[in-house]
């Protein structure tokens, strides 16, 4: 976790530090990544990084959570979480989300490298952080659905979460991989292809989760 010194920085400076760290980790891996390069690219002194984080591992693990939180906050600005259930989440604001993925190839590549195991012994810890944040978000969507009467309430949230994750994992990976292949502006044909995949996924979710 970052130190109080980092938390006191303005948002722009925090983002510069995190993007510089992610760029260095993604390009060179954890072992070969250099704190001095991160500091230089972020426009801060090398010693400042150690005022923000205990060590390189601490910085790396926070980079993992920062990247995921960045995407979730951007999505929440488009469609606030408090207004969404599981189905809304995948059927609202899709064009903006696909454009966001295209605009952030570094963050997408970093996340995919974590999932693929690029970071060796740190992979388990990194994926644990990703899963923790993701599950908190997904459980909120499930809770919203139960309150709205769109999700069955005869099953425990943990069981619904397992089903949700089983259905969405491969669909999400496929959509991210396809989005990376698209060049330039998202065409109507490409958007329709992605939206069709999401609608198919939601149809499967409804079969198991809908009240």
Mean pLDDT of the chain: 87
Greater confidence (15 vs 113) lies with 15
Element (H, E) at 27: helix 11-32
Residue pLDDT, tens place only, 30-65: 999 999 999 999 999 999 999 999 999 999 999 999
Residue pLDDT, tens place only, 111-163: 888 888 888 888 888 888 888 888 988 898 899 899 989 999 999 999 999 99
Mean pLDDT of 176-187: 74
Mean pLDDT of 73-102: 76
> What pLDDT score was predicted for residue 25?
94
Q: Distance (Å, rounded) from C-alpha 3 to C-alpha 15?
A: 15
pLDDT band at 21 (very low <50, low <70, confident <90, very high): very high
User: Of 25, 37, 24, 55, which Cα lies nearest the Cα of 120?
Assistant: 25
**For residues 25 and 110, is the Cβ–Cβ distance under 8 A?**
yes
Q: At what angle do helices 105-116 and 11-32 cross, to 10 degrees?
A: 40
Q: Distance (Å, rounded) from C-alpha 94 to C-alpha 105?
A: 17
> What pLDDT score was predicted for residue 174?
84
> What pLDDT score was predicted for residue 158?
94
């Amino acid at each position: 976790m970052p130190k109080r010194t980092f938390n006191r920085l303005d948002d722009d400076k925090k983002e510069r530090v995190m993007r510089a760290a992610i760029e260095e980790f993604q390009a060179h891996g954890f072992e070969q990544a250099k704190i001095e390069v991160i500091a230089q690219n972020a426009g801060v002194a090398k010693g400042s990084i150690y005022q923000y984080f205990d060590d390189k591992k601490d910085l790396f693990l926070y980079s993992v959570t920062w990247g995921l939180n960045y995407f979730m906050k951007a999505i929440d600005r488009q469609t606030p979480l408090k207004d969404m259930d599981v189905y809304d989440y995948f059927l609202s604001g899709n064009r903006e989300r696909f454009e966001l993925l295209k605009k952030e190839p570094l963050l997408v590549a970093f996340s995919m490298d974590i999932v693929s195991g690029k970071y060796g012994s740190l992979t388990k810890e990194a994926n644990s952080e990703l899963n923790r944040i993701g599950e908190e978000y997904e459980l909120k969507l499930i809770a919203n659905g139960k309150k709205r009467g769109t999700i069955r309430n005869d099953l425990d949230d943990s069981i619904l979460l397992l089903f949700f994750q089983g259905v969405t994992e491969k669909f999400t990976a496929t959509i991210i991989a396809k989005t990376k292949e698209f060049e330039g502006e998202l065409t109507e044909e490409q958007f329709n292809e992605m939206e069709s995949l999401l609608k198919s996924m939601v149809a499967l979710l409804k079969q198991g989760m809908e009240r």
